[in-house]
Structure 1
């Protein structure tokens, strides 16, 4: 199942979710009315035989209040989750890993996440750590790839090797790429409304117990305390209906997606033992029966469908299983039954393992091991360990010079690196330089130094820098993000001309960092035929950019798209002139295209690729444009585009 089919499947699952939610609400309403009827009968004398007079509108009032509580709880929780992945990470009690962390294990995790972001061509997610959880588990959360987060337990860092950690991170990146996260967050909000009765009941019941104990010590008993306990127990019983349906809903939504994510992780890392051994270690911990095999946080049940595997061993089997069994997942990975593994802490292991951990920092998971620099900080034995442990890795990771590397990971220097990317394409003493000197005089010198450093990078390494910068830029307050985007807009406009590189840079940054970038986008259009004019704009843009690169007329390139989009009835006269393709007009077209139904996107992307032709590799400017369009409509990069950024020269660049 590809990305767009998975997105469409997620939309259809939302309908199933709503149906099950409606059944849960009906069951809770019936239970509330039944309980209130019993209370009314008891108040009238306790006889359950004969006719009973209920107050006027008794059942209607009970139903209305119940619906208001459920709806209000759901809406309140959805509002609380408006920050997407960051809100879910906070619910799990996780803290964000500092980009400049000195902890070896945390640095290794950040390196692996950056590698996976480069390999998959999406913005690098923020990384959070659940410090108090010693189990092996992880999850990804967010409304879209632009604001996704990866959350890891401390046990995952302490008990997994680098290859195993790569497998787990690859699994979570699959959830990001397949659009699973948005449904997962909606699930949390929807289920809160039907499960909150159980929480209220538990709290009232505990209050009743404590009050009753106090009355016993003081030799007096107030009926109100007994009533509190009974009311609490009743609410808990009613709330258990919500828990029951909540577990069924999560089971129906979660299980099959884990198989897809497992397969994608192996595709990313090309190493079945990475994820496979991680799952085997999880199974080994569960077989011990110790608390270390489960998530201890109080919100574990509420977030159980997010995690790599079950948060409780009891939730791994039967009707309420949120995940497929480990044995079944391992059988699909290896094609045979596999034994479980022990999962000792690496922090407490021997010196050789410690050397391997140090090598994680020294070595950037690239086959060019002998090119690792900073010899004063890296001893020969560590490089040898790195070569032996990671020489066969297929992931690509750039080794940046110290100046750029620090800028990439510093929230208040990363904007200067963005300005430097604009200067890199400008002539000396250009209007961009003058704008910088006039409006950012205190930072101009550092921006120019960074621009000089960027020139030493291969050209296909520059746009992926934006992916690596995203965690740092997303840490900026919204007012600072807006100020940065405003400076970028004015720098671009300073020479009254928008170059292709400027357009690509601005498109990607606005889509990822603007005020509404982390919000879920609603589907408004079911077919590209509803966006005929917008498609003409995008096709014309790609045709004009491709024409000089492929040495063919833009009109003939446009007609290539006609073969893949016959329902748009394209003709040569539909080519829009380059002078009419302003940034604002293209942005509106991209915003509308982002509201297309998932299954309508493949035809659009195929048409755009058809314009580019069958040339391999694609010219870099054309690949940059297609990359920006995919980022703007939240679609993964096609392989032919991604290949441009993993070509030779990207791995051995700018060694310091």
Structure 2
């Protein structure tokens, strides 16, 4: 099952989850109404009605008025609890990581182990075509990790101190690949919704517990207080029903989570081409004194998000959010003998970071990449959400070839901002000086100093590494405050307009930065390609004109693209009707395509840029940038050498 099928399945699972949760709330309303009706009658209230059973016995039922009041109260409590938790988690994965006590390491790794982890995450991100996520370390001796967020733009990776200290580099790769699978396949958003809905149901139990504690103190002061006894009964009912609802909600959560873990394990093996990596990590969890347990106070709240079980439960079989370790291991390595290795305590394990102590001061290649074969675009689209070992190897190579000064700057706030400004500087000396003069009064001395130091390495930057550099800088940029981020985008916009025209590369850089620093809520994809024919025509006309000199060539490129679409007769639009403003409006609509419709559009884009038998670096960069704006993490196109190694 590919990336787009998984996205579609995640969307359908979200719908089923909503139905199950609605049924759970309706059940709570029914049970609460019946239970409170009995409590009301027992304490002398008159809000219940009599009914006569077949055997002549007289029973009690709550009146419709009571049912209505209770129903509204239960719905209000569940909704308010869910909305409150949703607002808490609206910052995405950062909110989850901070709630678990994580510490961000992207800007300042404090050890070789943390630097090794950062290198692995960066390689995985670049190989899969996604921005580098912020990485948080949790000070726990257990071996565990998680991916959290609402969208790939606000996703974070969290990992425990035990994992980075006890796992080898290939085992760490397996764990991180597993977490990236959750990002690709829409699991994070589903997991976050589960947290919010379950909190709403749990709130009933919390209110019941509060009433019990308050009424117990009141009744101890006045043993004849009948109202206190009634409050105790109401509180006990709410407590019992609230936690019963949470129990059944947890059953739903566990059932959904277990299946997603098997998929993520398989994806990790496919990504790294090394089943021993993730299998070794799972085996070390079994042999570790602390297992995969987390000590954070809120660990249970996010139990379904972890790489392995983060908490232990009394009813672990029924409520287990993860399959048994031995079952997961045997699925990826059937030959496993069933024995777990002995893992030394955390303090006795030396840091294994030698694999990352690589010298990157190599001879610098100042030439642009020669281009890509047409097949590389099709292969990249087929690898969306399922990057290969060749993509990982190419990402490793790109990082090694990146100028040390640029890579260092990408991990610091001022340096990352300076990189963005530097990428927008014109290659022509006179215009570049004009842009620097424009920046002088807008930037502080620290930023100007960084920009001047990076100017020469940026001028030598190969064309196929510009998006790589932007991906590396993203975690540092995400640490900017709201006002700083707005200033950054405003200055970028002024810099772009300095020469009186907007280049395609400049526009794509600004749009990618904007949507990562201020990610908007993703709209549910429900449009078919047939419904967005006008937007498709704008996008493909723009691509055809961007890669062709003559109108005849652009029309030929458009005809090639139409082969992949459910309609024919696409005509090349005039340049004025497919400019950057029209493209931006079209992409906003096209991002609402159904998941299974997006691969057809991407394949049409690939045919459009490959119609002349060759894909230039600028065309490949444009394809990846547009795919990013469509929420499709396109891996970098493989060069000829990497493609040959895969074959």
Establish whether TM, by shorter chain, passes 0.5. yes
- Secondary structure in 2 aligned to 1:101? coil
Counterpart in the other structure of 2:300: 301
Tell me if the contact between 1:295 and 1:312 (Cα under 8 Å) persists in the aligned partners.
Answer: yes
- Secondary structure in 2 aligned to 1:83? coil
How far 1:220 sits from its partner (Å)? 8.1
Counterpart in the other structure of 2:261: 258
Distance in 1, Cα, partners of 2:315 & 2:241: 25
Counterpart in the other structure of 1:362: 357
How far 1:210 sits from its partner (Å)? 7.6
Q: 1:166 aligns with which of 168, 173, 184?
A: 173
Counterpart in the other structure of 2:502: 498
Pair 1:210–1:411, CA change in 2 (3 A): farther
Counterpart in the other structure of 1:405: 407
How far 1:186 sits from its partner (Å)? 1.3
Tell me if the contact between 1:69 and 1:193 (Cα under 8 Å) persists in the aligned partners.
Answer: yes
How far 1:598 sits from its partner (Å)? 0.8
Pair 1:428–1:138, CA change in 2 (3 A): same
What does the per-residue CA deviation read over 1:191-210, in whole Å, with 9 as the maximum and x for residues that have no partner?
21112222333455456678
**1:534 pairs with 2:535:** yes
Q: Please show how residues 119-518 of structure 1 align to structure 2 within 5 Å.
A: 119-131=127-139, 133-205=140-212, 230-285=233-288, 293-314=292-313, 318-337=317-336, 338-345=338-345, 347-349=347-349, 353-354=350-351, 356-357=352-353, 359-363=354-358, 394=393, 396=396, 398-399=399-400, 400-423=402-425, 425-430=427-432, 431-437=434-440, 439-440=442-443, 442=445, 443-444=447-448, 446-513=450-517, 515=518, 517=519
Tell me if the contact between 1:33 and 1:63 (Cα under 8 Å) persists in the aligned partners.
Answer: yes
Pair 1:317–1:643, CA change in 2 (3 A): farther
Computed over aligned residues only, the root mean square deviation of the Cα atoms, in angstroms, reads 3.2
Counterpart in the other structure of 1:601: 598
| Comparing 466-475 and 266-275, the one that deviates more | 266-275
- Secondary structure in 1 aligned to 2:637? helix
Tell me if the contact between 2:215 and 2:232 (Cα under 8 Å) persists in the aligned partners.
Answer: yes
Distance in 1, Cα, partners of 2:295 & 2:233: 29
Distance in 1, Cα, partners of 2:363 & 2:143: 31
Consecutive unaligned residues of structure 1, counting only runs of 5 or more, are 374-392, 649-656
Distance in 1, Cα, partners of 2:363 & 2:235: 64
- Under a length normalisation based on structure 2, what TM-score does the superposition of the two structures give? 0.85
Counterpart in the other structure of 1:110: 118
Pair 1:552–1:27, CA change in 2 (3 A): same
Tell me if the contact between 1:460 and 1:644 (Cα under 8 Å) persists in the aligned partners.
Answer: no
Counterpart in the other structure of 1:28: 28
Tell me if the contact between 1:417 and 1:450 (Cα under 8 Å) persists in the aligned partners.
Answer: yes
Pair 1:245–1:173, CA change in 2 (3 A): same
Pair 1:221–1:450, CA change in 2 (3 A): farther
How far 1:481 sits from its partner (Å)? 1.0
Distance in 2, Cα, partners of 1:63 & 1:230: 18
Pair 1:270–1:78, CA change in 2 (3 A): same
Q: Please show how residues 57-72 of structure 1 align to structure 2 within 5 Å.
A: 57-72=65-80
Distance in 2, Cα, partners of 1:546 & 1:646: 24
Pair 1:62–1:618, CA change in 2 (3 A): same
Q: 1:643 aligns with which of 610, 620, 638?
A: 638
- Secondary structure in 1 aligned to 2:424? helix
Q: Please show how residues 554-569 of structure 1 align to structure 2 within 5 Å.
A: 554-567=554-567, 569=568
Tell me if the contact between 2:525 and 2:591 (Cα under 8 Å) persists in the aligned partners.
Answer: no
Question: Aligned pairs, how many?
Answer: 602
**1:627 pairs with 2:633:** no
Q: Please show how residues 575-594 of structure 1 align to structure 2 within 5 Å.
A: 575-594=572-591
- Secondary structure in 2 aligned to 1:606? helix
Distance in 2, Cα, partners of 1:616 & 1:314: 59
How far 1:611 sits from its partner (Å)? 1.0
- Secondary structure in 2 aligned to 1:463? helix
- Secondary structure in 2 aligned to 1:621? helix
Counterpart in the other structure of 1:651: none
Tell me if the contact between 2:147 and 2:158 (Cα under 8 Å) persists in the aligned partners.
Answer: yes
Tell me if the contact between 1:195 and 1:242 (Cα under 8 Å) persists in the aligned partners.
Answer: yes
How far 1:8 sits from its partner (Å)? 0.5
Pair 1:176–1:598, CA change in 2 (3 A): same
Distance in 2, Cα, partners of 1:160 & 1:551: 57
How far 1:510 sits from its partner (Å)? 2.3
Tell me if the contact between 1:316 and 1:323 (Cα under 8 Å) persists in the aligned partners.
Answer: no
How far 1:130 sits from its partner (Å)? 2.1
| Comparing 606-615 and 274-283, the one that deviates more | 606-615
How far 1:221 sits from its partner (Å)? 9.2
- Secondary structure in 1 aligned to 2:268? helix
How far 1:67 sits from its partner (Å)? 1.3
Distance in 1, Cα, partners of 2:61 & 2:198: 35
What does the per-residue CA deviation read over 1:44-69, in whole Å, with 9 as the maximum and x for residues that have no partner?
29999636596771221111111111
Pair 1:105–1:25, CA change in 2 (3 A): same
Pair 1:453–1:293, CA change in 2 (3 A): closer
How far 1:622 sits from its partner (Å)? 0.4
Counterpart in the other structure of 2:389: none
Distance in 2, Cα, partners of 1:137 & 1:630: 32
Pair 1:315–1:427, CA change in 2 (3 A): farther
- Secondary structure in 2 aligned to 1:192? helix
| Comparing 100-109 and 59-68, the one that deviates more | 100-109
How far 1:435 sits from its partner (Å)? 2.3
Counterpart in the other structure of 1:543: 544
Tell me if the contact between 2:254 and 2:321 (Cα under 8 Å) persists in the aligned partners.
Answer: yes
What does the per-residue CA deviation read over 1:591-625, in whole Å, with 9 as the maximum and x for residues that have no partner?
11111111110110010011122778731100110
- Secondary structure in 1 aligned to 2:109? coil
- Secondary structure in 2 aligned to 1:423? coil
- Secondary structure in 2 aligned to 1:413? helix
